[in-house]
Amino acid sequence: MATKVLVPRLGEGVDEVTVTKWLKQVGDTINELEPLLEVNTDKVDTEIPAPASGVILRIDMQEGQVGKVGELLALIGVAGETVDSVQSAVVSEKSAQEATSVKEPAAAHLPPSTTYDLGFISPVVAKIAAEHGVDLSQVSGTGMSGRITKNDVLNYVQSGKKTANNKPQAVVMPVAGDQLIKHTTMRKSIAQHMVESKHTSPHVLTVMEADMSCVTKHRSANKAAFERDGVNLTFTAYFMMAIVAGLKAYPQTNSSWTDEGLLVHKNINIGMAVSLGEDGLIVPVIKDADNLSLLAMARSVNDLATRSRNKKLQPDDVKGGTFTLTNHGVSGSLFAFPVINQPQAGILGVGAMQKRAVVIDDAIAIRPMVYMSFVFDHRILDGASADWFLAKVKETLENWA
């Protein structure tokens, strides 16, 4: 009996996901709990594991398609099992959905194509072939029993061979000239969020410089002890702790603008921007940051950064932030003008730490210095109050003991 792969509920209030990537194709074998596909919700990419071992018999939801919790994603069967033998299960699934008025996206209704010459053609394969004008009779199948898989079609297209309409597929993989790189779901989400933020808040930038001598000495003295506890003591943890001190001293910085008044948040939940390379960035949130010691903060920073890059975050991990830190200095930037993560009052950007000559007590000294760029919502904070907050962050770092 085939096992149905359904859209899971990934968090409170998460009712739908976007399929971003299938890690297995029709005809592939898979083991239970092995990653089957990737989905995106609230900018979080999450791997969905296979609920059973077997062979991928059918993929019912294509990449880019939005699915609601409980809808059918795919079917996993045993070796030698066919879609025909489990067709009644699929029909029953669709009938149940229609009876409860749960509508599937139109693409999910693409019927499988079966001909005596080609064998079973999955909806995914049929759609890709139609988009690129591929004559499937010219494609060699590498799947089970010679079945044509998605990769077979894509490889055929990328090979530059003629399609059914005798046009080469230069648009898919051009050898010269411009190339269109389609936006990912995450990139679209980031773009929309950034544009909305600039349209919502009057952004103002203020910059201060901090001497990191005390922090550097403390880190050198404690790094080995933290490692024995399995924690990498990064400078990010110190900036997080300094932000906590600033938010506690000036609570209006930990607030959001509403038409009725200023909503000052009781909890201090600090978002931490994590770069995912070409895939964009994501901002997981450290909840109740004001209750954490430096060790606990460093452990949380490690955990969220690792899970972000390994696509192990859950939707709840990126919700509820009241302030954000972005460390743009990792790529060498000295200072920047970050965009506020709505509906927060501000965002702190930290540049690259460099040894510079500074004047201390009328003498020139070499100190590890860092620029801190604080961008704030001018509806909530004025220049003076913003500088008070940033000065507190600076003071905390420079007097670390």
Active site members: 378, 382
Separation between Cα atoms, residue 58 and residue 210, nearest integer Å? 58
Element spanning 365, H or E: strand 363-377
The secondary structure of 185-237 as a DSSP string is: HHHHHHHHHHHHHHHHS-EEEEEEEEE-HHHHHHHHHHHHHHHHTT----HHH
344: its two tokens? 């927060």
Separation between Cα atoms, residue 397 and residue 351, nearest integer Å? 14
278 torsion bin: left (phi>0), alpha (psi -120 to 50), beta (else): alpha
Counting DSSP H helices and E strands in the chain, the numbers are 8, 21
Burial of 270 (0-12, 13-18, 19+ CB in 10 A): buried
Peptide bond into 51 cis (omega under 30): no
Residue labelled with tokens 């020139």? 364
The secondary structure of 27-91 as a DSSP string is: T-EE-TTSEEEEEEETTEEEEEE-SS-EEEEEE-S-TT-EEETT-EEEEEE-TT--TGGGHHHHH
- Cα-based angle 17, 19, 24 (whole degrees, multiple of 5): 140
